[in-house]
Amino acid sequence: MSMLLSKWEPFKELKEMEERFNHMFPKVSELESSLVDFSPAVNTREGDYAYHVEVDLPGVKKKDIKVEVKDNRLLISGERKEKKETKKDNYQRIESSYGKFERSFSLPDGVDGENVKASCDDGVLEVTIPKLEKTKAGKQIKVD
């Protein structure tokens, strides 16, 4: 009598069940990704008189964006609460995406943190951080 040996895999059935579930409901992972926090894309550039930070925030309303300068850092945070609804004669579809974000940047030396300006247009936030004017002429110090 010969005995066949097979490798015992305790989680094999669980793995197969997960694969079947993912095959039957592929949209579950997309739904989960829309509920988690997101990290918006950021572009930075230096101009002659200021630094510019542009943040892509599609679906984020101005009232849900917070920009502050604290401890020599630029902090940008907010929340996306987007809901799209489509109604046709024989169906209705509602898609929602939510998520909080927070980005922070160390400010370089020589910036005017008191006069930072921010504006948002078409889902793009632009933060302008002016540079302090450099004095070219030296300053004479009186000796007492």
pLDDT of residue 115: 92
Counting Cα atoms < 13 Å in the Cβ hemisphere of 110 gives: 9
**Mean pLDDT on 19-33:** 54
Q: Quote the mean pLDDT of the chain.
A: 79
**Mean pLDDT on 122-129:** 93
- What are the domain boundaries of the chain? 40-130
**Mean pLDDT on 11-29:** 63
- Number of other residues whose CB lies within 10 A of the CB of residue 67: 18
Is pLDDT above 80 for 114? yes
Q: What is the CATH code of the structural domain delimited by 40-130?
A: 2.60.40.790
pLDDT of residue 85: 79
Helix boundaries (H) for 3-126:
12-24, 27-35
